[in-house]
Structure 1
Amino acid sequence: MTFAKRILLIGAVVPFLATAAFAADRGTKPEAIAMVKKAVAYIGASGAQKAYAEITAQDPKFHAGDLYVIVYDSTGKCLAHGNNPKLAGKDLIDAQDADGVYYVKDRITLMKTKSSFWQDYKFSDPLTKKIEPKSTYCEKLNDTAVCVGIYK
């Protein structure tokens, strides 16, 4: 094989390998659902205060790659945030995505009528640092929504 062909082959293979490795870091819908169920069970067994502190401290049980747990109360207050501790304790009811969608307000509305649901919006991807389409799975627990999202 000539040197030029080797360079072309490397140029084709390296981006493919990088994309495959990047995709391996991506959470899936079943993983998001499983993490929500784990968080709901943990909150029930350990109590909200302890669980919220561990979620916000990015405990590996609740934060893996681009998957992380977020908990909101029925007013839109963030009770725990597994990726950005600064958001825990903040009222986020008026938070909007890049398209102007009030995603927390919509989440709270869904929580009031459904025990579990998926919600689509756009959000900053922790891996790419870019605004990306996101789908978040939530389960209602008492007057809270326990959520984990995946990036598409």
Structure 2
Amino acid sequence: MLKSARTLLCLLAALPLAADGTAMLKDAITYYYGNGAVALIKEANSGKFHISPAGYLIVLDETGKTLIHGESSRLIGVNMTNLKDARGRLYIKEALDARAKGKGKVHFFMPQGSSQVKATLQWEFQEGVLFGWVMAGEL
């Protein structure tokens, strides 16, 4: 068991880390423009933008419906507009309502076991699609 835990830690240490998720978010948007939405969804579902120490990608349509969710594929197709954080904040709705700004950040609290951790949704709207990078900790 200890050997597999060490292996996992080595694998995690080898993953590229982004200081604030900006690089990963830009990679996803660049991939989208270079290859299209279908290719991005396929690539994301194969694991390219899934959860890592740097966070994970979410992509929502203009109504708040999840197209890609790097933490849980069970959320694909789910409208996240009314999703509340651990303290009742409608953080997805906040990002959707601020789409005219083009990009921004929303800080919220995620449940983690019996406690809560600060998290940030860094988002950018492109052609009616919200690209977001979720990362535990404040950006």
User: How does the TM-score come out when normalised to structure 1?
Assistant: 0.71
Q: For 1:64, what is the secondary structure of its paired residue?
A: coil
List runs of 5+ in structure 2 lacking aligned partners: 1-12
1:116 — aligned with what?
103
The one-letter code matched in structure 1 to 2:133 is V
1:140 — aligned with what?
125
For the residues of structure 1 that align with 2:60 and 2:94, how far apart are their CA atoms? 12
Identity %: 23
Calculate the aligned-residue CA RMSD, in Å.
Answer: 2.3
Residue 149 of structure 1 deviates from its aligned partner by 2.1
1:91 — aligned with what?
79
Q: For 2:98, what is the secondary structure of its paired residue?
A: helix
1:67 — aligned with what?
55
Alignment pair present for 1:39 and 2:22: no
Larger radius of gyration: 1
2:19 — aligned with what?
28
1:70-111 superposed Cα distances (whole Å, 9 cap, x missing partner):
001111111101111111111111111111111111111122
More helix by share: 1
Alignment pair present for 1:103 and 2:88: no
2:104/2:124 contact within 8 Å kept:
yes
Report how many aligned residue pairs link the two structures: 123
User: How does the TM-score come out when normalised to structure 2?
Assistant: 0.78
Q: For 1:86, what is the secondary structure of its paired residue?
A: helix
The one-letter code matched in structure 2 to 1:64 is S
Residue 115 of structure 1 deviates from its aligned partner by 1.3
For the residues of structure 1 that align with 2:114 and 2:18, how far apart are their CA atoms? 16
